[in-house]
Amino acid sequence: MMLKIYYNDAIDWVVAESPEDATKVWEEHLGEDAVDYDLEWLEETREAFSIGFDNCCCPNPLPENGIAEPINSRRIEVIASPAAWIKQNGRGFLCSTEW
């Protein structure tokens, strides 16, 4: 099966094979069961999307054809295609807007 990017409520993003696998990835990353959470995973279908990083945590190198845009003195947004994020990170947890 092919890897895709899934997100829930625009909070957590994961690279997984399916919405069911996205829940497994999320559980593996957090080390807890998803039974108490109402997780609805949606596929990321935009041509490109951004993930914000603290300056010290920006991916190096950037995803293929990725663009880094400074937001302020402490934050950078990296814009890349889903395929580039998948290629750089593989199956697993990608990011969360709550951490």
Q: Which of 62, 61, 67 is nearest to 47 (CA)?
A: 67
Q: What is the DSSP pairing of strand 4-8 with strand 42-43?
A: antiparallel
Banded pLDDT at 9 (limits 50, 70, 90):
confident
Q: Break the chain into its structural domains and give their ranges.
A: 4-96
What are 42-93's pLDDT values in tens digits? 999 999 999 888 888 888 899 999 999 998 889 999 999 999 999 999 999 9
Q: According to the model, what pLDDT value does residue 99 have?
A: 60
Banded pLDDT at 22 (limits 50, 70, 90):
very high
Of 1 and 56, which is predicted with more confidence? Answer: 56
Q: Is the sign of the CA dihedral 48, 87, 14, 16 positive or negative?
A: positive
Measured distance CA(92)–CA(70) in Å, rounded? 26
